[in-house]
A and B are shown apart, each in its own frame.
Chain A
C-alpha cells in the first residue's frame, strides 16, 4: 500500500499600511519620515483590518511639525478599536511618536489648530460626551479642556481666544469676552472670523463669504510663533507666518545696483543733451571728486584725522555743519564721534535743507576699510536714494604732494522719486563732495597742486572737466577704477 502524501494549503493575505511624512526643503531636497507601518491580514477565516485616517499637521515653531492621526483596528471578533497618536519631527527625523488619550472616551484624534506662546498646542477633540477645545503638550499630555469652543487666536500671555469670543488664560479659565461673533461660524459657509489688525476690529472678515464687518474690541497681542492663528495666518490658507506686532529692530540690508540692466550714463538722462528724448532706462553712473594738496601731512595722517572720522561731514554739535549738503552720524549714538575701523559699520546721512530737514536720514555701511592703502568704501543700504557704492581715498603722488579723492558708482534707488532725484540732485552730490575735500584742504591750509591736469590714475578725463567740482564719467572709462577702489575687483557686491 502506498500512502499518498497529504498536502494542505492555507490562504493568507496581508496588506500593509505605511504612514509617512514628506519633508521638502527650500532647495528642493526631500526626506521621507516614517510614522508607522500597520498590517491587515486575513487567514483561515481570521482577519484583522487596520485603517489609518484623520491625519492633521501643524507647524511646531520653526523646528518641524506636530502630526496627529488615528489608527483603527477591526478584529475578527469583537468591536473596532481606535488608537490616537501624536508625533513630532525635528528636521528630517522623528522626535516623538506615541499613542495618546486626550479626553475620556475620545472618539477622534485631536485636531491641532494653534500653538501657544509656551510651545504647547491647542486644538479640538471629540468624545462620546461632547466636543472640546483642548490644550496639550507635544507629547500628548492634556493641559486643560473647555467644552464646546474652538481655538481662534493664541495670545502672547499663553492664553487663547475661542471662536465664541471668550478669552481664556493659560489654565483655560475664562477671563472675559472680546466681541460676540456670529454663532457657529463656519469657514466653508461664511461667518465671522478673527483676522487682521491684531484685534477683532475688522476681524469679522469671512474668507468664504467675503463679507467685511467692523466689530470693536480691545487690542489683542498674538503669540509670537508661527501658528497663533488657525491655518497659520489671517487668511487661513495654511502658510505658517510668525506674527510680529511690536517694532522689531530692523536689520540693514544692502541696496545694490542692478548691473544686469543696460549700463548707460548720459547728461540729464537723455540720448544727447537737454533737447533730446529723455530715456526711461535706469542710469548707472560713476562720478569722482578729487583734489591734489601740497602738504607735509602724510596720507596716513589725513586718513586717520579726516577719512576715518568723516570730519568733513560729521555732525557738529557746537557749530554750523561743515558741509551745506549733508552730515553724517553714528546711528548707534548720534552724540558720539564717528570712527571707522572695520567693514560693517553703519553711518547715518542727513541732508541739510534751505529751511528744514525735509527727509529722514538714510544709511550706508562700510565695505572696505584699508588702513594700508588709506581707503574706505561704503555700500548704500535700503532706503537710500541711491543704490551703489562710494569710496574715499588719500594717497601720495610725490614728496609733500597728496591726492584726496572720492568716487561713487551708482543707480537711483527704487521708485520714481529716486529716479527723478538722480538727475535733479546731481549738482548737489558733486557740490557736497567738493566741500568734503575742500574742508580737508582748509584744515591743512594746503595749496592745491596742478599735477592732476587731464587725467586720474592714468585715465584721461574728458575736456573742460573739473575733478574738484565733480567729474561725471559719462563714457564709463572710470567704472573699473572706481569699483577697484570700492572692493578691489571690478565686480562688487
Chain B
C-alpha cells in the first residue's frame, strides 16, 4: 500500500473514530431528552438535529462554512481569540462527519430509549432510584443494542462523509484527504487502479459496520 493511500485510510479511521466518540457523548443525552421529556418545540429540535440526514451535504457544508469559516459567526470569534481557524484542517473533517452522522445516532437511540417499558422506569423510581440512576442501571442497559447499532451506523456514515468535508476541510493531499476525497482526486486524475483499490477497501469497511449495525438493530426490534 503506498504511503498516500495509507495516510488516507488512517485519517479516515481517525476522523470516524473521534467523530463517533463525540456523537455518542452528544447523541445519547439529546436522544434521552427527546425520548423522555415533553416540552414545547420538542419535535422542532428533532427536525433541527435530523436535517443533515436529508439535506445535500453541500448545504450542510455551506452552513458549517458560514458558522466556522474564518469570517463565520463562531469561526471569527475563534480566530480573533486564538489565531487559529478550523478550516482546511483535519479537525474540520471531524466536525463535518460529526454533524452529518449525528442524526443516525439520535434517531436510532431515541427509538431504542422509547422502547424501554415505562413501568420499569416507574418501578425504579418507586424503589428509590433517581432519574440518573435509573438511566444508568435500567434504561441504558435495556437500550444498549440500539445504542451500539446507532454508533456503528454513525461510524459508517462518518467514514463515508464527502460533500461537507470537502467544503470545510478542502482537498489537501497528505493533510485533509480522507478516503472519499482521495478517491475523488484519484479518479479525476485518471489514477484508476489506486482509486479502485480504495473503493474496494471503503466498500468492505462500510459493509462490516453496516453488518454490525444490522445485527444489533435486529435484536432490539
Co-complex (A, B): no
| B interface list, Cβ under 8 A from A | none
| A interface list, Cβ under 8 A from B | none
